[in-house]
């Protein structure tokens, strides 16, 4: 394929139409992304504009763009798509760059970046990448928390953040975006995430109720229901519990004790297992869940348990995280012991509360669908339990003379 003359490249705002000449050509060409469409495996349409005048090329390219989406409404993609507009052009450049570096022993860096992005891109679906605050919240709260939850080392997390930074820098250079977001420093990455106290989470609950009293918008009661559900079991706050349907909860009565009734939730395709059943705590089962269960009338089994009237779960996830951080900051709770406490910190609260009740590390790991090592190294790393375990291991170390 002929090479593009980079000096001739122009990217039109909003549409992201790329207009350019090839190094050995005179006429301008254009291309733009069209999504999946028969006959276009690259998901982009390329046309020769048959003109050497840039203004004429811009006019023709714009008309081609409008006509395509007017006659092919089934292929019209979202106005902004991080993967198509920023990530894929960067990865294409990086893979091509390293494939040509025959002087390097390891020229697969582009493929490694691609692998990292394949994991991270789920965080940027349906995201307006021109919203700096939203993008930084996703990177510094959701993505960082999840990478730490998966047991990634600080050095590995830094590599993920480096890939994102390079993507944004290239996107800025190409004129797609105007900024490069701040990513967490090594010190922030290595800072343990601290749990909220239950009393602190109750203050955030009260803020939700205040918003409802002022606006009478049931969204705020749904939001309160959402936070309480996250608190009641070892959920990963995010898409897993937000994907729960009405049919995905069940009451189980103990055969040995008829008065003991447990509330289970069934989650499929989790980050670590194909199936997991979080168990709600007793207080939530008896006093809080009935309010959530009965709040919306006439719901069917396949309706969402949380926010049943909102379809886009990914946008909802971002909105919930942003609102939680806003309330936490307003109440002076967000910054704590040199670190921050985003929505994911509720998971730390659950682990800490279970340990205080005397639940074993093995059982906490099972309840939270993670490993015992992760419970000690991530969720309880700043507690006396982790320090005691370290002290026990200290006596077993061999002294090398």
Question: Are 37 and 119 found together in one domain?
Answer: no
Q: Are 27 and 21 in contact (CB under 8 A)?
A: yes
Q: Determine the Cα–Cα distance for residues 126 and 112; give it in Å rounded to an integer.
A: 24
Q: What is the 3-state secondary structure (H, E, C) of 168-218?
A: HHHHHHCCCCCCCCCCCCHHHHHCCCCCCCHHHHHHHHHHHHHHHHHHCCC
Domain range enclosing 25? 4-75
Q: Is residue 142 part of a domain?
A: yes
- Mean pLDDT by runs of 10 across the 401 residues of the chain is 83 83 92 70 82 94 89 67 89 79 65 91 88 91 89 93 95 90 91 91 97 96 97 92 95 87 92 88 95 91 95 91 95 92 93 89 92 84 62 53 46
Question: Are 215 and 263 found together in one domain?
Answer: yes
* CB-count exposure of residue 306 (10 Å: 0-12, 13-18, 19+): buried
Q: How many domains does the chain have?
A: 3
327-366 burial, b for 16+ CB within 10 Å, e for fewer?
A: bbeeeebbebeebbbbbbbbbbbbbbbbbeeeeebeebbb
Tokens of 138: 């996703």
Q: Where are the beta strands (DSSP E) in 315-396?
A: 335-336, 339-340
Question: Are 226 and 343 found together in one domain?
Answer: yes
Shortest CA distance to 331 belongs to which of 232, 220, 199, 219? 199
Q: Determine the Cα–Cα distance for residues 333 and 316; give it in Å rounded to an integer.
A: 23
Q: Is residue 195 part of a domain?
A: no
Q: Are 358 and 160 in contact (CB under 8 A)?
A: no
pTM for this prediction: 0.74
**pLDDT (0 to 100) of residue 280:** 96
Question: Are 340 and 230 found together in one domain?
Answer: yes
Q: Is residue 249 part of a domain?
A: yes
Residue where a domain stops, chosen among 75, 91, 111: 75
Question: Are 155 and 251 found together in one domain?
Answer: no
Q: Is residue 398 part of a domain?
A: no
Shortest CA distance to 117 belongs to which of 150, 165, 153? 165
Q: Is residue 51 part of a domain?
A: yes
Would you state the torsion angle of the CA atoms of residues 224, 133, 349, 373, taken in this order, to the nearest 10 degrees?
140
Tokens of 221: 């009661």
Q: Determine the Cα–Cα distance for residues 14 and 345; give it in Å rounded to an integer.
A: 36
Residue where a domain stops, chosen among 29, 48, 75: 75
Entry field: residues in the chain: 401
CA distances to 12, 28, 81, 108 from 61, in Å? 10, 10, 20, 36
Shortest CA distance to 379 belongs to which of 234, 204, 244? 234
Question: Are 351 and 263 found together in one domain?
Answer: yes
For residue 236, give the CATH number of its domain: 1.10.443.10
Tokens of 190: 């290595």
Question: Are 23 and 170 found together in one domain?
Answer: no
**pLDDT (0 to 100) of residue 75:** 63
What DSSP element (H or E) covers 3?
none
Residue where a domain stops, chosen among 160, 190, 220: 190
Indicate the pairing of strand 261-265 with strand 249-253. antiparallel
Would you state the torsion angle of the CA atoms of residues 228, 232, 238, 242, taken in this order, to the nearest 10 degrees?
-70
Question: Are 267 and 327 found together in one domain?
Answer: yes
Question: Are 122 and 62 found together in one domain?
Answer: no
Question: Are 340 and 233 found together in one domain?
Answer: yes
Half-sphere exposure of 137 (CA within 13 A, CB side): 22
Within its chain, how far is the Cα of 190 from the centroid? 20
Tokens of 171: 């996107």
Which ranges of 198-331 would DSSP assign to H, the alpha helix?
Answer: 198-215, 219-232, 239-242, 282-283, 289-295, 313-330
Order the strands of the 4-11 sheet from edge to edge: 4-11, 18-22, 29-33, 44-48
The residues, ordered by sequence, that sit 6+ positions from 214 with a Cβ below 8 Å of its Cβ are none
Q: Are 63 and 50 in contact (CB under 8 A)?
A: no
Q: Is residue 384 part of a domain?
A: yes
Question: Are 231 and 315 found together in one domain?
Answer: yes
**pLDDT (0 to 100) of residue 399:** 45
Question: Are 93 and 140 found together in one domain?
Answer: yes
Q: Is residue 396 part of a domain?
A: no
């Amino acid at each position: 394929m002929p090479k593009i003359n980079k000096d001739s490249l122009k990217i039109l705002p909003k549409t992201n139409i790329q207009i350019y000449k090839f190094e050995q050509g005179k006429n301008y060409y254009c291309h733009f992304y069209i999504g999946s469409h028969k006959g276009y495996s690259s998901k982009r349409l390329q046309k020769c504009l048959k003109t050497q005048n840039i203004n004429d090329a811009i006019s023709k390219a714009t008309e081609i763009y409008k006509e395509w989406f007017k006659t092919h409404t089934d292929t019209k993609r979202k106005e902004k798509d991080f993967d198509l507009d920023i990530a894929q052009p960067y990865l294409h450049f990086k893979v091509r760059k390293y494939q040509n570096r025959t002087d390097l022993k390891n020229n697969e860096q582009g493929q490694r970046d691609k692998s990292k992005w394949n994991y991270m891109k789920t965080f940027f679906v349906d995201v307006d990448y021109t919203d700096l605050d939203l993008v930084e919240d996703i990177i510094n709260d959701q993505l960082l928390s999840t990478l730490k939850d998966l047991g990634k080392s600080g050095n590995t997390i830094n590599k993920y953040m480096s890939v994102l930074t390079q993507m944004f820098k290239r996107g800025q250079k190409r004129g797609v975006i105007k900024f490069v977001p701040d990513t967490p420093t090594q010190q922030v990455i290595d800072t343990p995430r601290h749990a909220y106290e239950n009393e602190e989470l109750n203050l955030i609950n009260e803020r939700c109720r205040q918003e409802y009293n002022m606006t009478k918008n049931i969204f705020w009661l749904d939001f309160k229901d959402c936070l309480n559900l996250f608190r009641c079991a070892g959920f990963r706050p995010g898409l897993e519990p937000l994907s729960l349907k009405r049919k995905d909860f069940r009451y189980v009565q103990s055969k040995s004790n008829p008065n003991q009734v447990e509330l289970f939730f069934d989650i499929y395709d989790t980050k670590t297992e194909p199936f997991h059943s979080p168990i709600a705590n007793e207080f939530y089962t008896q006093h809080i869940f009935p309010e959530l269960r009965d709040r919306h009338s006439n719901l069917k089994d396949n309706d969402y348990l949380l926010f049943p009237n909102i379809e886009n779960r990914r946008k909802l996830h971002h909105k919930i995280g942003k609102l939680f951080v806003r309330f936490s900051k307003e109440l002076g709770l967000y910054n704590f012991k040199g670190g921050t406490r985003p929505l994911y910190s509720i998971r730390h609260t659950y682990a800490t509360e279970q340990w205080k009740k005397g639940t074993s590390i093995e059982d906490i790991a099972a309840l939270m669908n993670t490993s015992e090592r992760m419970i000690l190294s991530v969720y309880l790393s700043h507690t006396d339990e982790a320090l005691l375990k370290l002290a026990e291991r200290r006596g077993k170390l061999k002294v090398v003379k």
